[in-house]
Amino acid sequence: MERAAAAAGPAVEGGGVSRRAVRAAGAAAAGAGSRQASTETLDSPTGSHVEWCKQLIAATISSQISGSVPSEGVSRDYREIQDGHNGYHSEAEPDQALRDGNKLAQMEEAPLFPGESIKVIAKDVMYICPFMGAVSGTLTVTDFRMYIKSVERDPPFVVDVPLGVISRVEKIGVQSHGDNSCGIEIVCKDMRNLRLAYKQEEQNRLEIFENLVTRAFPVSNGLPLFAFSYKEKFAVNGWKVYDPMAEYKRQGLPNESWKISKINSTYELCDTYPAILVVPTSVKDDDLSKVAAFRAKGRVPVLSWIHPESQATITRCSQPSVGPNDKRCKEDEKYLQTIMDANAQSHKLIIFDARQNSVADTNKAKGGGYESESAYPNAELVFLEIHNIHVMRESLRKLKEIVYPTIDETRWLSNVDSTHWLEYIRMLLAGAVRIADKIESGKTSVVVHCSDGWDRTAQLTALAMLMLDSYYRTIKGFEVLIEKEWISFGHRFAMRVGHGDDDHADADRSPIFLQFIDCVWQMTKQFPAAFEFNELFLITILDHLYSCLFGTFLCNCEKERLKEEVSTKTVSLWSYINSQLDEFTNPFYVNYENHVLYPVASLNHLELWVNYYVRWNPRMRPQVPIHQNLKELLAIRTELQKKVEDLQREAATRSISSSSDRGSSPSHSATPVHTSV
C-alpha cells in the first residue's frame, strides 16, 4: 500500500526515509532544484543552452576528479566496499569484487510496482541538483518511472519521478576535454525541471535518452499508458465510489419535475456526456434532440444539483449556436422555461456565462454565442468575465518561472502578483459564490455554461456544489463530486494534461483541474474544520492527475473510457486513497451538515499554495512535516472519542441501574424517576 504513494507521488530527493515518510514529504515539500537566470517557458528547458553547457562541463569535469565526494558524505556500506580493496587485487579478489559490485547494484536498485518492468539501467549518471550540486548515481528507467539513486551520500540520495509528469525531454551534447558528454533536460508538469549529465561513450548510454522519450510519451509511440499494466491489489474497489443513480437518489431524484433519462445511453445525443442524465419530466426526447442540435457539441442543459428545500437547481450546458444572425430555437427557449418552472419559488432563471463578454461576442461571430433576453424573456444573463484556457496556461508558466528553482525574496509579492494566478483563482471563487448565493438565498435556479461546457463550467458547478452541499466536503463525497462533475461530464483530461503525448506545445493543454483543486485548498484554509480531507489528499489527487499510475483521470469522456475498458483494466485512484483513509483525514473535521460556505473571494484572503507549487525547494519545508502532526492529532482525537464513548456507555448503564433500583423500591413505586444523560 505504502509503495504506491512513495514512488507514484512526488519525486523525493535525499532518500533514506521510510516509504510512508516519503509520501508525506510530498505534502509538506520535497526538495529539488535551483533557479538559473532564464527565459523559461512552461514546457521548454530552463536557461540558455550556453548556461546549461557550462553546468554540463563542470559536472563532467567534477566526475573525473577522484575523491571529490567527502568521505563523511559516503554511506557506511559503500565505504566498506571501497575500503575493502585499498587499490590492490589478490587472486581471490575478482569474485569478491563481483559480489561487492552486485551488493552496490542492489543498494541502488529501483523498487518496482506489480506490473512494472525495467527498460534500461545506467551507472555513473550525474544528476545536477541546483541545491546540492552534481550527484552521481545509478539511473533506472522503467515503463513507469525514472529513478536515480546515489549511495555516495548518507542517507542515500533518491530522485523518483513518474514518467507521466514529464512534459518535454531535450538532449544536449557538449565536448569537454576531448570527451563527448551528453546532457538531458527534463521539463515536468508539476512545477520542476530536472537535469542529467553522462559521458556518451558506451552504447547503453544511447538507450537512456531513447527509452526515456519512448516511455515518457507512450501514446505518441504506440504504447499503452502504464495504468493498463499496473497490477496492485487494494482492499477497496474505487470504481464503485460513484454510482450516478445512487447520487441522484441522494438528491431526491427523480421527482415530479425532474426525471432520469437514458436517451444518451449509447452516447448518440451527446458523445461527451454521461449515459445517465437528469432532465425536466415534461421534455420529450424529440425536443431534447433539437435542443442538442442547437447547443455546442450537443451538450444540452442537464441537472447537476437540486436544493433539497427550495428545489432551485444548478444545470450545466454549452453555449447556444446563435451565430451572427441571431438564430433561435423554440425548443431550446421552451426547455429553459421548463427548467425555471420546475422551481416554484422563483419566476426567474439566471444564466451564468463564465466567459468574458467580449469573448462571447467573438464566439457569436463564429457561430456560437449566448442567450439574448429577448429570446429568453424570463432569463437574466450574467457574464463572469473568466479568462480562457490559453490565459490560464500562460499564467501558470509565469508562476513556474518565479517559484522554480529559486525565489527572489525581495520581489516575491510583486512577482506572484505579476502572474495573475491568484487573481484568476479569486474570479473562479467569486463566480461560484454568486451561483451558490442565487441558489441558497435567492432560491433561484441557475444555468451555467462557457463555450463547450467542460472547463470553466465544471470549475464553477463543482465549486458551487461544494459550498452548498456538506456531503461533497467528505472524502467520499469529494470523490463523487470529481467523478460526476469532471470525469463523467467530459472534462478533457487527456487533452488538457497531455497524458503520454510528446506534443508539449499543444494549445489544448491547460491547468483547469489544477485551478479547481487550488480553489478547494483556498476554501480549506478559510474553513479548516469544514472538510473531512486534508492537504495531502488534494496533493495526492494532483500528483496522480499526471502520474498515469491509475485510470481515474485517463481519456476525455465516459464514452472513451468505456471503449478503453478503463474500469476493468486499470486501478482507480480511490482504491488507493480509500484503503488508507487515516493518511488523508483532517483531524479538525466537524460535519457542518446543511451549512453553506461562502469563502471570501478577495486577494486579501487568498494565498499562494506554497506546499504544492514550491514544494521542490527544500528551503520552503517546515521543520516538522505538517502531515505527521495531523496524523498524531488524528490518533489523539480517535483516542479521546473512544474515551467519550466509554464514559457515555458507563453513564447510560448507571442511569438504567439507578432507574431500576428506584422503580423496585416501595417508596418510589408511584413516581418512577428517569434520568437522561
CA dist 646 and 640 (Å) reads 10
The distance of Cα 3 from the centroid of its chain, to the nearest Å, equals 19
Q: CB–CB of 572/550 below 8 Å?
A: yes
Distance CA 413, CA 292 (A): 47
SS3 524: helix
* Cα–Cα distance for residue pair 674/672, rounded to 1 Å: 7
Longest dimension (CA), the chain: 109
Closest to 8 in 3D by CA, of 219, 135, 218, 190? 190
CA-nearest of 451, 521, 448, 510 to 485 is: 448
CB 253 within 8 A of CB 284: no
Distance, in Å, from the CA atom of 502 to the CA atom of 524, rounded to the nearest integer, reads 35
Contact 432, 463 (CB under 8 A): yes
Tally the residues of the chain: 677
199 membership: H or E segment, kind and range = strand 193-199
Report yes or no: 575 and 552 within 8 Å, Cβ to Cβ: no
Q: And the C-alpha cell for 101?
A: 559490485
Instruction: Please report the sign of the dihedral spanned by the C-alpha atoms of residue 499, residue 272, residue 42, residue 429.
Output: negative
Alpha carbon distance 212, 170 (integer Å): 10
The residue written with cell numbers 514512488 in the block is 7
Q: Can you tell me the distance from the alpha carbon of 405 to that of 38, in angstroms, rounded to the nearest whole number?
A: 11
Whose CA is closest to 511, among 487, 556, 546?
A: 546
Burial label for 103, CB within 10 Å (0-12, 13-18, 19+), is: middle
Of residues 338, 337, 344, the one with CA closest to residue 311: 344
Strand ranges in 100-192 using DSSP code E only, listed in sequence order: 118-129, 133-142, 145-150, 157-162, 166-176, 179-188
CB 8 within 8 A of CB 543: yes
Report how far apart, in Å, the C-alpha atoms of 559 and of each of 289, 562, 664 are: 18, 5, 70
**Is there a cis peptide before residue 155, judged by omega within 30 degrees of 0?**
yes
d(CA 599, CA 580): 30
CB 315, CB 302: distance < 8 Å: yes
Q: Which residues partner with 306 through β-bridges?
A: 313
Record the cell numbers describing residue 160, joined without a space: 523518483
349-353 and 379-383 as β-strands: parallel, antiparallel, unpaired? parallel
CA distance 378 to 336: 9
Contact 449, 457 (CB under 8 A): yes
Give, for 531, the enclosing helix (H) or strand (E): none
| Backbone CA torsion sign across 387, 481, 308, 533 | negative
Enumerate the active-site residues: 450
* Residue type at 486 in one-letter notation: W
